[in-house]
Amino acid sequence: MELDQRIIDKSKWMWEQCLPHISVDCVVFGFHENQLKVLLLKASVARKWLLPGGYVLKLENLQDAAQRVLSERTGAERIYLQEFGVFGTVNRSEGFFEGYGDDLWYKQRFISAGFYALVDYTGVNITADEYSETCEWRSIDDLPELAMDHQLVYTNALTILRQQLSYKPIGLNLLPDKFTISELQKLYETILGKPLNRGNFYRRIMRFDILVKHEDLRKGGAHKAPYLYSFDPLKYHESLQGLDW
């Protein structure tokens, strides 16, 4: 294996600037063409797929580190970020930098905080870093094999997201500013992976009292044009404190 001098040089910088043994891994969800998608990187080292992640600067809060990582990858400002777990399997990244010295920053044991993020697919500009071949969206129904323990991180994030749909109005960062009730229901169905009763969904979502109905209609189609809705930002964020369905 040919060693990359850039990785060795960056390792020295990491030892100086970052907290040892602490990292963040982010599962970034976006919704596009009725598909729930996840943002992935293909690393130049080992040519394997990974979730976006990074390290925590010495004078940086943990959540700020996750926000910074996501900003670097997507340029997005409207990011809903939720911590959902901690991952610390022994040797979780060993072998990924095989051939490098044991003093390499990236070969140390890291305890990683997992965050999931919800972003507007149309409002991001995804960017690969200097150590990645590509950065791209992949449908949750067509994911490649993920390296290290990132499959576990992703699976846990999706499980938590599905559980939180029962008591949190997920959607503000995944849909355009205006949408129909049918589009909102489709988002929930896609995340849950199952159909929902239209009447029951309407009653449940209206109990949150977070939607603003607009007089303009969604044009086009053979059927009666549906009304458009948007989220009331203040009530939406209040509801994230834990209102139940």
Angle subtended at Cα 94 by Cα 44 and Cα 69, rounded to the nearest 5 degrees = 55
Q: Which fold has domain 181-239?
A: Arc Repressor Mutant, subunit A (1.10.10)
- CATH 3.90.79.10 residue ranges in the chain? 5-164
pTM of the full structure = 0.87
CA–CA separation, 240 and 224 (whole Å):
33
Q: What is the pLDDT of residues 111-147, one digit of tens each?
A: 999 999 998 888 788 888 777 889 999 999 999 999 9
Q: What is the pLDDT of residues 73-100, one digit of tens each?
A: 888 776 788 999 999 988 777 677 888 9
Per-residue confidence (pLDDT) for residue 243, from 0 to 100: 42
Q: Return the CATH superfamily for domain 5-164.
A: Nucleoside Triphosphate Pyrophosphohydrolase (3.90.79.10)
Q: What is the pLDDT of residues 20-75, one digit of tens each?
A: 999 999 999 999 988 999 999 998 777 889 999 999 999 999 999 999 988 888 88
Q: If you search the block for the tokens 């004078």, which residue do you land on?
A: 59
Q: How far apart, in Å, are the Cα atoms of 53 and each of 17, 23, 129, 178, 195?
A: 16, 7, 11, 31, 33
